[in-house]
Structure 1
C-alpha cells in the first residue's frame, strides 16, 4: 500500500459507486503494515494505534471502513473495539460478518456472489448459463471463496484458486467440503499446497498463475495488475471467453488490449464488483442496518442491483454506438455511465 495505490483505489471506488443503483461516495485507504508473520497481539496493537489516528474521520455520515486485502474479521474487530473505546458510542458502520456489531449479515459474501450473478447476466444475454462451465479463480481470500461457493450453486465447475506463492488446480472441481478445507488452510495461514495432502489428485504449482488452465470463464479476484500480456495470451489459448474482474484493475493495459482483440469479453470491476456497494448502502441506511436480513432477501436485493448495473452499462454502450456483440461494449458502457453520473452531479452542485 502506498499513496499512489490509495488514489487509484479511491478513484476506482468512486466510479464503481456511481454506476451502482445507490449514491455513495468513494474513497480508499490502508497502511504499509505487513501482517504476515505477526502475532495476534502485534496485529491488535497496530489496529488500535491506526484507529487512534483515524477514528475522528469515521461515523455514520462520514466514512465506512471495510474488509480488504489483509483485513478480515479479526482486524475489523480490533479496529471496531478501539473506535468504540475512543468515540464512546456505537455509531458508525463497520463491515464484518458479526451482525451483532452492526450492518448486513452477508457483507462478506456480497462482492463474490455479485460477481457470479453478473457473469450469469452476461451469459444469459448470450443464451448460455454457468452450469457445466469450467471456471478458474485467482486469489483465495474472501471474494474468491464466495465466488467458488456461488459457482457450485449454479452448477459450474471451478477448478483452480491461487495465493501469493502459486496456484492450486483440482480437475475434479471444488465442492462445499473442499471449500471448507481451503478456508481452514487460509485461516491457519498455511500454503494452498497443503490441500494436496487431503486430495492427492490435485496439484499445486509454485511461482505460477492459473491462467493457462483450460477454462470457459475466469474470475480475477487477487490484486491489481495480476494479468499481464503473457497471462492474457495463456487465457486465450486456454479457451477463456469471459473474464470477470473481481479485483480492481486486474489487467494491465497491454493484457486488456490483447483480450479485446481476441474477442474475450471483459466484465469490468467497476460494474461486476458493485455487490459490495449494495451491502455498504444497506449498512449506512439506518433502517436497513437494524434489520437482520435473511440470505434470501439479501440475495434478491443483490441480484436486482447487479441487474440494474448491467443494464445501465449496456444502455450507455448502445447510446454511444457500441453494438451488443462488441467485446468492448460492456467495459466502455460502464465507464461512460459512471463518468456521466459523476459529471452530472458535479455540474448540478456547482463543482465545475
Structure 2
C-alpha cells in the first residue's frame, strides 16, 4: 500500500469532502509501514474497505417551528465499520454539519472505539439543524422528526447513538423517547441518557475527565506534576467544563474558556465559584461565555480562540475540528507549552500536528485523549444490557483504567528509537491493527 496512491484515489472519488480526506490522510500516512508488513492486507484490499463507510443514510427532516412554519433540514447517519462491535458514535446538531464532517468523525470513531478495548464499531450522525436560539418545543419537534427517519437503522445490537456538539441530555432524551415509541422496545439504544431511564453516572463528565487522565499518564512519563500548571482550554460545553473541573481539583490553573463568539481569559485561574457559575450559565440558562466574562469582569476577546492570547503550560483544545492551526501551534511552542491533549475531535490541523511532533512535546490526538466519553458510553451499554446501575466510583475507576490502557497501547506502538512517544502513530497503529485483524478474520463483507 502506498498512502499517496490511496489518498489520490479517494480525493478523485470524493472531491468535495476535505475533512474526510484530512482524517484519512492523518491515519494512513502513519500506519503505512505497519500495513505493508502484512501482505495479506493488500491482497484483500483492506485499506480501501476500511476507509470507505459500510453505508450512509441521508434524509430530509421536516419539522414545525413555534410560528407554525414548516422548516426543513438534512440528516445523516454514517455507519463506518462494525468489525469489532455494534456501530457506536454521537449525533451532532450544528449548522456546519455536512456529509464530509460526519464521514471524518465516523472514520475517527472507528479507531477511537477500537482503542477503548470495548466491543464497539464506529459511526456518526447529525444534522445541519442548530438548537441555538430554538425553544424547547422546537428542539423536541425536530428531534422527534429526526428519529422518525432514522429509527429503523439503529438498535442496541446494531447502532447505538449518543450526544455530540449541539446534542446534550435534553436532545438525547427527546430522541430516545421517540425511538422507544417507534420501535416498541426499551433496550437502552442511546447512551448519554438521563439517570432516571438508563443513563450512567459520570457520563456527562467522562470525555473531560478521561482527557485529564490521559494527560496525567503522559506527564508521568516525564516526571511532571500537574499542580500549578497553567492550562488553556477552548470550548465551554460538557467536555471543556468537566476538563476544567477535574483540573481544578488537581491543583492546576485553568486560564481560558471559549465559545463560538469569543474567548474569556482568567489570569489567576478559574475558581470553584466561577466554575459553578459557568455550569449554571451553560447548562441551565444556555448562555454565552461573554456573560461569564462580564459577571466577573474578566478580559474577553470576541471572535478569537485562546491559543495566541493566553500564557499557558498546557493546551487542551475542546471545542471543534480544526480550531488550532500552524500559527497557533507556533505561538504555543514559543511560550513554552509542554503538552497538548485534545478534548475535541481533530481540533489541530495537520500543520499544527507537524509543529508539535517536530518540537517533541507531549501531544495526544483526540482519538486517544478524548476516548473517555465513548468508553463510559460503552459502560452504559453494559449496564443497560445487565439491567444494572454502577456507582460513580465504579465507573470512574473503570474509566481511569481504560485511559491508562489506551496510553499503554500508544506507548507500545508509538515509542521511537530515542524514547520519544509519537502518540499519533501509536494511537493510529493500535486502533488500526485491532480493526484490521477483525476484518480479516470475518472475510470479505
User: What TM bracket, shorter-length normalisation?
Assistant: over 0.9
Q: Which has the higher contact order (CA 8 A, sep 6+)?
A: 1
Alignment of 1:86-235 (within 5 A): 86-96=182-192, 98-187=194-283, 188-200=285-297, 202-212=298-308, 213-235=310-332
Cα distance in 1 between the residues matched to 2:419 and 2:113: 24
TM superposition score normalised by structure 1 = 0.94
SS at match of 2:111: helix
Cα distance in 1 between the residues matched to 2:334 and 2:296: 28
How far did 1:119 drift?
A: 0.4
Is 1:303 matched up with 2:400? yes
Cα distance in 1 between the residues matched to 2:361 and 2:222: 13
SS at match of 1:100: helix
Could you say which residue in structure 2 is the equivalent of 1:335? 428
SS at match of 2:186: coil
Total equivalences in the alignment? 347
Cα distance in 1 between the residues matched to 2:417 and 2:406: 17
Gaps of 5+ in 1: none
Is 1:266 matched up with 2:363? yes
Tell me the alpha carbon deviations over residues 200-232 of structure 1, each in whole angstroms, 9 at most, x when there is no partner.
Answer: 2x2111111101211111111101100111111
Cα distance in 2 between the residues matched to 1:112 and 1:34: 23
SS at match of 1:64: strand
Alignment of 1:310-329 (within 5 A): 310-318=407-415, 321-326=416-421, 329=422
Is 1:351 matched up with 2:440? no
SS at match of 2:161: coil
TM superposition score normalised by structure 2 = 0.75
Could you say which residue in structure 2 is the equivalent of 1:241? 338
How far did 1:14 drift?
A: 0.1
Cα distance in 1 between the residues matched to 2:248 and 2:193: 21
SS at match of 2:340: strand
Q: Note if contact 2:341-2:365 (Cα within 8 Å) is conserved in structure 1.
A: yes
Could you say which residue in structure 2 is the equivalent of 1:78? 174
Q: Note if contact 1:137-1:160 (Cα within 8 Å) is conserved in structure 2.
A: yes
Cα distance in 1 between the residues matched to 2:150 and 2:194: 22
Tell me the alpha carbon deviations over residues 256-315 of structure 1, each in whole angstroms, 9 at most, x when there is no partner.
Answer: 112222233211111111112321221222567533322221111111101111001111
Q: Note if contact 1:227-1:251 (Cα within 8 Å) is conserved in structure 2.
A: yes
Higher Cα Rg, which structure: 2
Over 3 Å counting, the alpha-carbon distance change for 1:90 and 1:154 in structure 2 is same
Over 3 Å counting, the alpha-carbon distance change for 1:193 and 1:242 in structure 2 is same
Q: Please point out which of 128, 151, 154 is paired with 1:32.
A: 128
Could you say which residue in structure 2 is the equivalent of 1:41? 137
Cα distance in 2 between the residues matched to 1:341 and 1:322: 24
In terms of fraction of residues, the more strand-rich structure is 2
Q: List 4+ stretches of structure 1 deviating above 6 A.
A: none
Cα distance in 1 between the residues matched to 2:193 and 2:438: 33
SS at match of 1:190: coil
Over 3 Å counting, the alpha-carbon distance change for 1:86 and 1:97 in structure 2 is closer
